[in-house]
Amino acid sequence: MTPERCAVVGIGQTHHASAGRDVTLGGLVREAAERALLDAELGWHEIDALVLGKGPDFMEGVMSPELLLAEALGAVGKPVLRAYTSGNAGGVAASTGVALIAAGQFSRVLVVAFEKQSEASGPGSTLQRLPFEAGWQGGTGSLFGAVCREYIHRSGAPPEVGDLAALKDRRNALLNPYAQVRRPDITLEEIAASRPLWDPIRLLHSSPSSDGACAVVLADEPSAARSARPVWVQGSAVRTEPYLSAEHDNVDPRAGAECAASVYRQAGITDPRHELDVAELFVPYSWFEPMVLENVGLADRDGGGWRSVVAGATAIDGALPVNPSGGLLGANPIGAAGLIRFAEAALQVRGDAGDHQVDGVRRALGHAAGGYSNCFAMWVVGAARP
């Protein structure tokens, strides 16, 4: 059984904002979807099926929003799937879309992911107030701070690594017209002196709360043949592990490593550090960049991640640029953030990333993560048909 080949033929996203007060939920997803369709030179009637990804329904206070958004997404009369699996929803949505094509069921699938955090309290809606647990008000950051400390403990990373990775992403975000956080005069000193949140995470190491949406149009081979610039999905995978498992390692989760190994294997990649030209990684706090680099095999597991950051290897003109878009530090509409990484990877392959384009990209990695470092989705996209 040979899965059908799948290509990205359309990409769109919104101008992300801390509060998109000019649009409803429907308006937000519609904006991204219409840009993707325009980019694909396709009409709504040419879409066969849809996947909607987003984070917890608590974020907007709307249950099962794929129902509410049916018309905004042009989904009436069509099959629709909702992807969640936590904050990597956007990545999982893309993976579900690829599967719909690969299974030979549909020719063109629209994948849309969004989050509109201004509708409710983002940090508040991720707090678990369980009746049998002590009250704590830390949100996700307090957990991830501990994970970063463990990484520092294991790898011996010096304190400035978080500052350097943040400076790189914040400068890259200035090159991305869709980024929300733009600080033209940002300095290393300013980042290092910013307010501590959860040691070692400081305010300017952190991604913002965002409203935003992203959409991609996926196509099977016959439909892709009619596209001017198809970007081929060379590998796509989802991996999840139980976060309460005794084996679960928050710093170097096996699900993340195996998800990466799967997409590299599918893409025929044996040396990802040299065969990938750029990576868009899910880095909600800058300290995660070195951790993720090691987890997905883009750096040695003995601190190679932080040494890459210090050496500037992940800069936009480095040996392996990471997050030329600015990544999550530029905007983090949670449910959409994973799909934005996937879409940015495809833009790089197509050569359409504008001011944040990396030269000569033939193959790129898109990475999404969620939960308590236990849920992952990734794809490898390239110019060459698999």
Partner 1 sequence: MSRVAVVGWASTAALEPDGRNEAELLGPVVDQALGMAGLSGAEVDVVCSAGSEFLNGVVGTVMGAFDALPGWPPRTHSHLEADGAFALYEAWIRLMAGEGGVALACAFGRPSAADPAGVLALQQDPYLVGPLGTGPRHLAALQARAMIDTGRCTERDLAEIAAARRGLDVAALLAMPHVASPLRESDCSAVCAGAAAVVLATEDRVPISCERPAWIVGIDQRMESARIGQRDLTVSTSTRLAADRLGLPGSSIDVLEVHAPFSHQELLVIDALGAGRVGSLNPSGGVLPADPLMASGLVRIGAAADALLRGGAHRAVGHATNGACLQHNLLCLLEGA
Q: Does 270 bind partner 1 (CB under 8 A)?
A: no
Residue 357's contacts (CB-CB under 8 Å, 6 or more residues apart) are: 324, 348, 351
Q: Does 222 bind partner 1 (CB under 8 A)?
A: no
Nearest residue to 338 via CA among 26, 127, 83? 83
The least distance separating partner 1 from the CB of residue 21, rounded to whole angstroms, comes to 13
Cβ proximity of 23 and 16 under 8 Å: no
Contact with partner 1 (CB under 8 A) among 98, 112, 309, 364:
98
Contact flag: residue 242 with partner 1 (CB under 8 A): yes
- Residue (68 or 186) nearer to partner 1, CB: 68
Assess 339 for contact with partner 1 (CB under 8 A).
no
The string of DSSP letters for 135-188 reads: ----HHHHHHHHHHHHHHHHH---THHHHHHHHHHHHHHTT-TT-S---TT--H
Residue whose tokens read 């193959």: 363
Q: Which of 18, 34, 46, 82 binds partner 1 (CB under 8 A)?
A: 82
Q: What does the DSSP assignment read for 26-53? A: HHHHHHHHHHHHHHHT--GGG--EEEEE
DSSP 185-213: T--HHHHHTSPEEETTEEGGGB----EEE
Q: Kindly report the CA angle at 29 between 26 and 31, in degrees rounded to 5?
A: 105
**Closer by beta carbon to partner 1, 303 or else 338:** 338
Binding mask 155-194 for partner 1 (x = CB under 8 A): ----------------------------------------
**Angstrom distance (rounded) from CA 361 to CA 349:** 5
* Cβ–Cβ under 8 Å, residues 377 and 263: no
Shortest distance in whole angstroms from residue 338 CB to partner 1: 13
Half-sphere exposure at residue 48, Cβ-oriented, CA atoms within 13 angstroms: 13
Backbone conformation region of residue 77, classed left if phi is above 0, alpha if psi is from -120 to 50, else beta: left
Are 346 and 383 in contact, with CB atoms under 8 Å apart?
no
**Residue 281 is which amino acid?**
L
Under the binding rule (CB under 8 A), the answer on residue 23 touching partner 1 is: no
380 binds partner 1 (CB under 8 A): no
Question: Binding segment for partner 1 among 100-108, 170-178, 269-277, 343-351 (CB under 8 A)?
Answer: 100-108
The 10 Å CB-count burial string (b at 16+, else e) for 319-347 is ebbbbbbbbbbbbbbbbbbbbbbbbbbbb
Q: Which of residues 121-140 bind partner 1 (CB under 8 A)?
A: 125-130
Q: How far is the CB of 317 from partner 1 (least distance, A)?
A: 35
Among 10, 374, 378, 379, binds partner 1 (CB under 8 A): 374
Whether a cis peptide bond, with omega within 30° of 0, leads into 131 is no
Q: Which residues pair with 218 in a beta bridge?
A: 8, 109
Q: Which is nearer to partner 1, 73 or 166 (CB)?
A: 73
Residues in the chain: 386
Least distance (Å) between residue 58 CB and partner 1: 5
Count, residues near partner 1 per rule CB under 8 A: 67
Query: CB of residue 24 vs partner 1: minimum separation in angstroms?
Result: 6
Q: Which of 15, 22, 38, 61 binds partner 1 (CB under 8 A)?
A: 61
Q: Nearest distance from residue 241's CB to partner 1, in Å?
A: 4
| Token pair in block for residue 51 | 């996947």
- 143 near partner 1, judged by CB under 8 A: no
Nearest CA-CA partner of 148 in 207, 202, 186: 202
292-331 residues in contact with partner 1 (CB under 8 A) are none
Asked if 95 is part of the footprint of partner 1 (rule: CB under 8 A), the reply reads: yes
Q: Determine if 100 is a binding residue for partner 1 (CB under 8 A).
A: yes
Our CB check for partner 1 shows the closer of 62 and 358 to be: 62
Of 34, 46, 57, 252, which one interacts with partner 1 (CB under 8 A)?
Answer: 57
Q: Does 24 bind partner 1 (CB under 8 A)?
A: yes
Q: In terms of CB distance, is 70 or 174 closer to partner 1? A: 70
| Residues near partner 1 (CB under 8 A) | 1-3, 24-25, 56-58, 60-64, 66-71, 75-86, 92, 95-96, 98-100, 102-105, 119, 125-130, 237-245, 247, 253-255, 258-259, 371-372, 374-375
